[in-house]
Structures are given as C-alpha cells and as structure tokens.
Structure 1
Amino acid sequence: MILNLPFAALRAFEAVARHGSFSEAADELGVGQSAVSQHVKSLEEWLGHDLITRGARRSLPTRDGARLALSIADGLGQISEVCEDIRDKRRDDTTIVISCHPGFAFIWLFPRLLNFDRAHPEFAISITTDTGLRGVARAEADIAIRYGTGDFPGYAVKPLMRETLSPVCAPSLLKGPKPLRRIVDLAYHTQIRDEFGPTTTDLPTWEYWAREAGQTLPTPARIRSFGQSNMVVQATLQGDGIAMGRSPLVMDALRDGQLVQPFPHSVPSPLNYWLVYPEDQRRAKKIALFLDWIAAEAQVQYRQHLDAKSDIQND
C-alpha cells in the first residue's frame, strides 16, 4: 500500500537538507521562506520526529532526516528521468540552456546576450534561474554558472571570473552634509548587505573585507539586507547606502561612473564564478562555443575595467 504522502512538504524538506538553508531552498523552489518552513514543520508533525536541526548559519538534517532526504532525492531523481523519457522533449542541438542565479543573470548575463545572438544567430539561448546542480544533473540545463569555491564533484569545472571586494556607492554620497571620505564616515551611512551566498566557511561580507583589508568598521547608521544581488546593486545605484561591491557585478557601473569606490582598499573574495557542466558534454560543439564566448566577454569586461581605472588615475 502506498501512503498518501505530502509530496510538497517532502520536496521542500529535501531542498532544505541539501542546501543546509531555508532561504536557499526557498530560492530554488520559487516560494517564500515561511512557506518552506511551514512545509518542513508539517512534515515533522506528520512523522512525529524532528528532521532538521535549525541553526543561525546552517540548518542540518538529523540522522532520520538525512535518511529521508537521501531517499527523497533518489526517488524524485528516478521519477524525473522517467518523465523526461516519456515526454521525449530533448532539446534541439541549436538551443543552449544556461542555469544561473537570478542576480547574475539580471546584472551580467542578460546585457551581453545580444552579443552572442549577433555572433551566433544559428543558436538560441535559454536561461533558467536556479542555484543548485540538480538542473544540470537531470539534463534541464547544458551549462551552469555557479558562485562558490569551485568544488563541484562529478562535473567539469572551468573558472569564469575571479572576484575582488571593495565598498561601492553612488557618487552623490561623496558629497552632502556627511561626505563619505574615510572609513569612520561609514558610521553616518546605511550599510547594504547581500544575504545570498553558498554555505562556506568564508563569505564576501563586510566583516570579511575589513579583516582582510586591516580596517575597523564603525557601527553603521542603519543596515539594509537583500536576498538577491541585483537588488543590492540597484539600491546602491539609487544612493540608498554603501554596499560591498563584488567586482563582476559592479565593474560596468564603476566604468560608467554610476558607482564609485570611496576607499582604495580592495581584497580578493573567498568566492568566484565558475562554469559547470556534465563531464560527458565536454566536447559538445555548442558547449565549447558558449564557453569560448562567455570567457571572452569576461575578459572584455575586465580590460574595460582596467582602462577605466587608468583613466581615473591619470585625471
């Protein structure tokens, strides 16, 4: 007999166990964090056992939870593969499906896709915004662009962009009644924080930057936090405060003068951008073509950034 299983709750729980985070699970499933939390709670009540040990930084499965999460992942994976075979919707060889985080897609990838269309009109690009690797593993995407340490076992991995960190703000914050000129001036301004990040030992936070740059941060006037990188950049462009600039996401705005770096201190980020794809796709023509194109675009952006910095220094 098959139990009347709460499938939505099981799927939400598996995502939390895999990510170690309710917020990242919510991003993957496209629902609110409260909905994911309620699903997990209802599943625990239905089973009569705790499944997740909730923590400030990470939420880890209990022993029973780990067993259940593995079973769900295996079961859903098999169901997905069978459905894929039944639907027989294999992508056309002229379509390239890219999986990446919404913030990166909005800020960096979308503005550059016209260049790809012009150079390769025979191919079509489709974007899916997903933060996990399941989409690539289940043939839902050809290539994933991921942000992290580059540790993706079982996949071919190529570095796309290295990241540096430095505070950035709108030019208007350099003037006014409380001009931003020294680190201590941060006490009079809003600190904008990016809440998104993989579960790692170090994240590109304000505290990380201060430690690596040998600086002491004052207590800011207020803090505003966002769960998506594009919202962080947009709030900074509007002059709402100072953000920790992640170089690939702010280089264009710095070059155009929409953002400025009020301080000279720049440090390497603990995380970078990577191209991730199945090992057996390494020699596929469309994969190789896209990898070459996006690597060239990243190099163009970096050179433009260096030229802009040189122009500023020469003024």
Structure 2
Amino acid sequence: MILNLPFAALRAFEAVARHGSFSDAADELGVGQSAVSQHVKSLEEWLGHDLITRGARRSFPTRDGARLALSISDGLGQISEVCEDIRDKRRDDKTIVISCHPGFAFIWLFPRLLSFDHAHPESAISITTDTGLRGFARSEADIGIRYGTGDFPGYAVQPLMSETLCPVCAPSLLEGSKPLRRLADLAFHTQIRDEFAPTTTELPTWEYWARETGQSLPTPARIRSFGQTNMVLQATIQGDGVAMGRSPLVMDALADGRLVQPFAQTVRSPLEYWLVYPEDQRRQKKIAVFLDWITAEADAQMRRHASLSHRVAND
C-alpha cells in the first residue's frame, strides 16, 4: 500500500536538508521562509520524529532526516526524468516553453498572450513557473524571463524591461477618515511588502525608494508581507494597504484606475527583467518570433507607463 504522502512538505524538507538553510530553500521553492518552516514542522509531527537540527546559521538533517532526504532526492530525480521525457514527447516544433516567476506570469504575461496567439496562430505557448533565480535546462524551457541584474553565465541574456518604483494603493485610500495625501499619512495605513526578491545587494524595497528620494518613512500602522507578487497586487487593489509598486507589474492597474499613485516621487529600480536562453536558440524561427513579439510588447508598455508617470508628476 502506498501512503497518502504530504508531497509539498517532503519537497520543502528535502530542499532545507540539501541547502542547510530554511531561507535558501524558500528562495528555491519561491515561497516564504515561514511556509517552508511550517511544512517541515508538519512533516516532523506526521512522522513523530525530528528531521532537522536547527542552528543559528545552518540547519542539518538528523540521522533519520538524512535517510529521508536522500530517498526524496532519488525519488524526485527519477520522477523528474520521466516527466521531462513525457514532456519532450508532447512538445513539437511549434511549441515555445517559457520559464518565469509565477507573479510575472499571472500579472504581466498571461494577459498579453492572446495578442501573440492572434498574430502567430501557428505557434503555441506553454508556461512553466519557478523562482526565476537561476538558469534552466534545455529540457525545461526554450526561454527564461528572469528578474535581477542579468548575471546568467552560459546563456544569451537580452534586456526586456527596466522598472521604476513608486508607492501605489487603491483609490479608496485617498479618502476616508485617514486619507492618504502626504508621506506622513503612511503612519495610518498598512505597509504591504513583497518577500520575493533575488539575492542581490540592492533590492526594490520601501527603504530603497525612501533613500533614493531623500525621504524618511514613518512607522506604518502595521506591515503585511507576501511571498507571491500577485498576492501583493491583489491585496493592494482590495484596499488592504499601500505597496511599493514595480512599474511592469502595476502599470495596467494604474492605467485602468484599480490603483493610484499617491505620491509623485518615482525612482529607477536596481533590478530589471531579462530574456535568457541558450546561445543557439535565437537561430530558431519560433524563438526569434517570440523574442521580437515580447520585446515589442515590453517597449510599448514602457512608453505607456512613461506617459502615465508624466501626467501624475504634472498633476
């Protein structure tokens, strides 16, 4: 009999055991560190034994934990090989597989794919999501869309979009008993933070925006953090608080009025979006077609956002 195994918890535990770090495991899995910790704890409770010895700097598997981690690694590796083989059999010359972070896929890419389908009905797009912090195997995807500084050795790297940063909120927060009109008014509102970020020395945070604009942030009424960018956007649109808006991901909501920019100060983000692919991929016609399309889409969005930002600054 095969047990009804908690696969999400097993995968999280294996990542912690391999990295020796809950934080690194969370980065790999694209979730918050607290979620990984909860998965490991629930697995230990399910088994009735400790699996990880937690330390201040590093965490190590116990003897039972090491046995289990090795078994999970071997099993998932075999499953991965079989899945890749099955996917390769399904893929034909017309399918383009794109690898990107789920937040970017949900917010930016999905709404625009219909225009690609209309323009190129001979091609099919398949999306695979991951943390977006690494390269990818040729069997996994044809093109990666990555967020960071563009450092992906061994791949062709092409800039897709730069981004600017500014606080954003729902229009309802501009009114009410504590209207958001000045920077000091942030003290009466919830600050929404995006936990997802690549490992770099500079991150597009609230603190970065304040430093670059020469301002001092008041202590917010409360802070809410999310490990998925689409959750940050949804909470902000619902009026749950004020978020640091990253232009490619908030421009559509700003344009249709779901979000507003309460302050005019905008700064250039230290990170950008990049197209990443194996060196020889550009010679394939389907890849060249997609790269040309998505580059044109990104350029058009950046022009629209620049125009919108200009109007906000002049209001």
Short-chain TM bin: 0.7 to 0.9
TM-score after normalising by structure 1? 0.79
Give 1:164 deviation, angstroms.
1.0
Counterpart CA distance in 2 for 1:263 and 1:254 is: 13
| Structure 2 SS opposite 1:172 | helix
- Please tell me whether residue 26 in structure 1 is matched to residue 19 in structure 2: no
* 1:111 aligned residue: 111
The 5-angstrom pairing of residues 73-152 of structure 1 reads 84=84, 89=89, 91-132=91-132, 136-152=136-152
- Residues 166 and 245, structure 2, Cα contact 8 Å, conserved in 1: yes
The CA deviation at 1:187 is 0.4
**What amino acid maps onto 2:294 in structure 1?**
I
In 2: Cα distance, 1:265 partner to 1:133 partner: 29
Q: Which amino acid in 1 is paired with 2:39?
A: A
From the superposition, tell whether residues 296 and 12 of structure 1 become closer, same or farther in structure 2 (CA, over 3 Å): same
Separation in 2 of the partners of 1:218 and 1:243? 14
Deviations 1:129-159, CA, capped at 9 Å, x for gaps: 1125778315111111111111111111111
Distance 1:91 1:257, change over 3 A: same
Check 1:124–1:94 CA distance in 2 against 1; reply closer, same or farther (3 A cut).
Answer: same
Residue 81 of structure 1 deviates from its aligned partner by 5.8
TM-score (norm 2): 0.79
Following TM superposition, by how much is the alpha carbon of 1:119 offset from its aligned partner in structure 2, in angstroms?
A: 0.2
Question: Is the Cα–Cα contact under 8 Å of residues 162 and 272 in structure 2 kept in the other structure?
Answer: yes
- Which residue matches 1:209? 209
Q: Measure how far apart 1:26 and its partner are.
A: 3.4
Tell me how far apart the structure 2 counterparts of residues 149 and 39 of structure 1 sit (CA, whole Å).
Answer: 36
Q: Distance in 2 between matches of 1:87 and 1:302?
A: 35
Cα distance in 1, alignment partners of residues 154 and 55 from structure 2: 28
Q: CA 1:212 to 1:170, structure 2 compared with 1: closer, same or farther past 3 Å?
A: same
**Percentage identity across aligned positions?**
72
**1:248 to partner: Cα distance:** 0.4
For 1:35, give the aligned amino acid: H
1:191–1:242 CA contact under 8 A, matched in 2: yes
How far 1:283 moved relative to its partner? 1.4
Contact 1:168–1:261 (Cα < 8 Å) also in 2: yes
Task: Name the aligned partner's letter for residue 228 of structure 1.
Answer: Q
Matched residue, 1:35 = 39
Unmatched 5+ residue regions in structure 1? Answer: 1-6, 63-68
Which runs of 5 or more residues in structure 2 are unaligned?
Answer: 1-6, 62-68
- Distance of 1:86 and 1:117 partners within structure 2: 25
Structure 1 residues 204 and 123 mapped into 2: Cα distance closer, same or farther (>3 Å)? same
Corresponding residue for 1:265?
A: 265
Matched residue, 2:234: 234
Deviation at residue 181 of structure 1 after TM alignment: 1.5
Secondary structure, aligned partner of 1:176? coil
Instruction: Give yes or no for contact 1:135–1:141 (8 Å, CA) kept in 2.
Output: no
Q: Distance in 2 between matches of 1:40 and 1:148?
A: 35
- Tell me how many residue pairs correspond in the alignment: 300
Aligned-partner residue type, residue 189 of structure 1: H
Question: 1: CA distance between counterparts of 2:41 and 2:270?
Answer: 29
Residues in 2 aligned to 1:85 and 1:194: alpha-carbon distance in whole angstroms: 36
Partners of 1:107 and 1:95 in 2: how far apart? 22
